[in-house]
Amino acid sequence: MIGCSCEVCTSTDLRNYRRRSSLYVVTEHRHLIFDTPPDFRDQVLRFGVERVDAVFLTHPHADHIYGFDDVRRFSTMQEEHIPVYGSPRTIKQMRKKYDYVDRVSYGFESVPRVLFTGLTQSVYVDECKLTPLPVSHGADTIYGFLIEGDGKRMAYIPDCNGIPETTFQLLENLDAMILDGLRPKPHPTHFTIQECAEQLKLIKAKQSFITHITHNSEHSELQAQLGTAVTVPWDGLEVAL
pLDDT (tens digit, 9 = 90+) per residue, 79-131?
999 999 999 999 999 999 999 998 777 788 899 999 999 999 999 999 999 99
Rounded to a whole number of angstroms, the distance between the first and last alpha carbons of the chain is 33
DSSP β-bridge partners for residue 24: 33
With a CB cutoff of 8 Å and minimum separation 6, the contacts of 96 are none
Q: How many CA atoms, within 13 angstroms, populate the side-chain half-sphere of residue 182? A: 12
**203/205 Cα distance (integer angstroms):** 6
**pLDDT at position 179 over 90:** yes
pTM (predicted TM-score): 0.97
Rounded Cα gap, residues 77 and 54, in angstroms:
14
Q: Kindly provide the residue ranges of all beta strands, DSSP E only, lying in 57-199, ordered along the sequence.
A: 82-86, 114-118, 123-125, 128-137, 140-149, 152-157, 176-180
Quick: pLDDT tens for 42-62.
999 999 999 999 999 999 999
CA distance linking residue 32 with residue 34, whole number of Å: 7
Where residue 15 falls (left for φ over 0; alpha for ψ -120 to 50; beta otherwise) is alpha
Q: Can you list the domains of the chain with their CATH numbers?
A: 19-120 (3.60.15.10), 145-234 (3.60.15.10)
